[in-house]
Chain A
């Protein structure tokens, strides 16, 4: 027995289905019943039911590519704020190798880095690394924070949404999987991108978002809204399945 439909909104404690279904993320099992533990939208895949939260905190996972801000310089490592209940550490050896150098010469408090989560242990100590294509320090630009679960929505199918923002505002945009977004471009364009991204976050659970984002972009840029080209844009899913992670790193310096 199933009591809800796909993409229906549920709240904590709602009974979703009987035991013949599997309990996925955002759900829990109690007395052979599957219940929601979050405020979110139901996603049914075959026999697996999960709830995609509308609001959440970033829980670090090995392999994620994230944006962090340095909060402290220690003897042999940096501490970073990664928009999560846990802070991250970047060992100095990851930057200098065996060589011993002054940490302040490389990065200072307040610097924004693009990093990879190297390891998360059982007590949630988050080790970060800078090894990889495009990873490194950002210069200038602004940071925008959104709920991490809305990152796939912001990127869109094969990056459609994010590329539209990039093209229209002529800004460099890098999205971290922890819900931090770095935008650099003309200051007025940065504002436009910020407004659009915040709008996407607010309306991430509604459908037909790409069109509204396009209209909003054109309006903010004072452009004529082009007549709808008949492109059979399939009705978008309320929450896209794992949008590919943003790995656009050419715009990075360091």
Chain B
């Protein structure tokens, strides 16, 4: 017989930590970032964060043919977040839905402050985020990978945007929620920052938190972002082999 071991089952035996996968409350899941994985895209990146697998392609700056979207003084940054039908346990109906439309919008808004859009008037930069496997926190994974892909494409930027979530699970404020923690937890706070200046470009909050808990979650998320930021930098430098 096949037993499917879920994080929940594992969690019951662990005594050291409250968390299902035995992580400390301020510990990230294992991650890996790679730049320049796609041949035909101008820039690309692949990111794994725990059970998340995300691939991002960037095209542009390129000519924008849709007249009504064109901005005379800057480029437009278009993002498309898409989950593969096989990325979750129950097959996801392909195509955009309310959730992915929202995430596409917040991704482009999280990246926009970092990009020098005014250098490319009347053009577009297209970012395609494909979630191949999802395990909680894909929007943050998408943003983190997208900024690596933008840098790989040679798009001028002020900083590499990095995103990470924190939240509350079984009464404790924890970093980088997994899928189970996201579903059964009390709160989820995704944060995106520009690490050099510490400016926040994305801040969402889902669930109930006291002001103290919120402050703690925010600081925890920023700490997590800083760790991911190092990996982003390494990924870009590694791409050129020195």
Bound CA span A12–B119, Å:
15
Interface size bucket, B side?
20 to 34
Stretch at the interface among A52-60, A127-135, A152-160: A52-60
Is residue A212 contacting chain B, with contact meaning CB distance below 8 A? no
Is there an interface contact between B152 and A39, defined as CB atoms closer than 8 Å?
A: yes
Bound CA span A39–B240, Å:
10
With both chains docked as a complex, state the minimum distance between the C-beta of B114 and any C-beta of chain A, in angstroms: 8
Q: Mark B107-124, 1 if CB is under 8 A from A, else 0.
A: 000000010100011110
Give the number of chain A interface residues (Cβ < 8 Å): 26
Chain A, interface SS category: loop
Is there an interface contact between A85 and B154, defined as CB atoms closer than 8 Å?
A: no
Is residue B136 contacting chain A, with contact meaning CB distance below 8 A? no
Bound CA span A9–B238, Å:
11
- Closest partner residue, chain B, to A37 (CB atom): B156
- A85-B123 CB under 8 A given contacts A9-B237, A55-B153: yes
The contact of B72 among A37, A54, A55, A123, by CB within 8 Å, is A123
With both chains docked as a complex, state the minimum distance between the C-beta of A189 and any C-beta of chain B, in angstroms: 25
The contact of B236 among A26, A39, A56, A85, by CB within 8 Å, is A39
The contact of A15 among B63, B151, B196, by CB within 8 Å, is B196
Is there an interface contact between B158 and A13, defined as CB atoms closer than 8 Å?
A: yes
- A87-B154 CB under 8 A given contacts A13-B195, A123-B121: no
Q: Mark B140-167, 1 if CB is under 8 A from A, else 0.
A: 0000000000011110111110000000
Is residue A35 contacting chain B, with contact meaning CB distance below 8 A? yes
Bound CA span A59–B75, Å:
13
Is there an interface contact between B240 and A54, defined as CB atoms closer than 8 Å?
A: yes
The contact of A35 among B63, B75, B196, B236, by CB within 8 Å, is B196
With both chains docked as a complex, state the minimum distance between the C-beta of A150 and any C-beta of chain B, in angstroms: 11
Is there an interface contact between A57 and B157, defined as CB atoms closer than 8 Å?
A: no
The contact of A12 among B72, B122, B157, B197, by CB within 8 Å, is B157
Is there an interface contact between B158 and A85, defined as CB atoms closer than 8 Å?
A: no
The contact of B158 among A35, A57, A206, by CB within 8 Å, is A35
- A39-B158 CB under 8 A given contacts A86-B122, A86-B123: no
Q: Which chain B residues (194-225) contact chain A, with CB distance < 8 Å?
A: 194-197
With both chains docked as a complex, state the minimum distance between the C-beta of A151 and any C-beta of chain B, in angstroms: 15
Is residue A124 contacting chain B, with contact meaning CB distance below 8 A? yes
Residues of B with C-beta under 8 A to A26: 156
- Closest partner residue, chain B, to A33 (CB atom): B196
Is there an interface contact between A57 and B196, defined as CB atoms closer than 8 Å?
A: no
Query: Lowest 8 A-B CB distances belong to which pairs?
Result: A55-B154, A13-B159, A85-B123, A37-B156, A12-B157, A85-B61, A56-B154, A13-B196
Which A residues have a C-beta under 8 Å from some C-beta of B?
Answer: 9, 11-13, 15, 26, 28, 30, 35, 37-39, 53-57, 59, 85-87, 123-124, 147, 205-206
Which B residues have a C-beta under 8 Å from some C-beta of A?
Answer: 42-43, 60-63, 72, 75, 114, 116, 120-123, 151-154, 156-160, 194-197, 233, 236-237, 240, 242
